[in-house]
Amino acid sequence: MVRVRLKDRVRVLWIGFVLPLQNDLNNLTSWSEKWKLGFNPEKCKVMHIGHSFDTKYRMKIQEKVWELEETKEERDLGIIVTSNLKPSQQCVKAASKARSILGWINRHFGLLNSDEFNILYKTYVRPHIKFCIRGAFKKFIA
């Protein structure tokens, strides 16, 4: 009996969040038509963060209804955002890039003293690692 009530509450909350989001999408499309700034619906995507409800969102553009594609991972301004908001994918890719640059340094410069290596490391490797959080730094770059 408690589970049914809890399930009903969750369902009510779920419906309560879906309708305002769909209304916001409708408002955005009407605004874009008014100001003649069109959306490209093929590039618009939906990422569900924090829940796994199967919700579909639609945009009506030029009398055609587009169903928005669902995505689990997006890259924006060089940062990878996943649906679980964990930075692991970002750190793996940053560590991979840093390792490849270290290999490049090793192949092209051979033997280096510590001062020369520090200059190359700070110039080419460290900028890629800065996208990774400190806690994961030790895990991915040893």
Structure tokens that stand for 33 in this block: 């038509």
Structure tokens that stand for 104 in this block: 């490049």
Structure tokens that stand for 5 in this block: 């009530």
**pLDDT tens readout for residues 43-75:** 888 888 877 777 888 888 888 898 988 888 888
Is the pLDDT confidence value at 120 over 60? yes
pLDDT recorded at residue 134: 52
Distance CA(104)–CA(93), nearest Å, equals 17
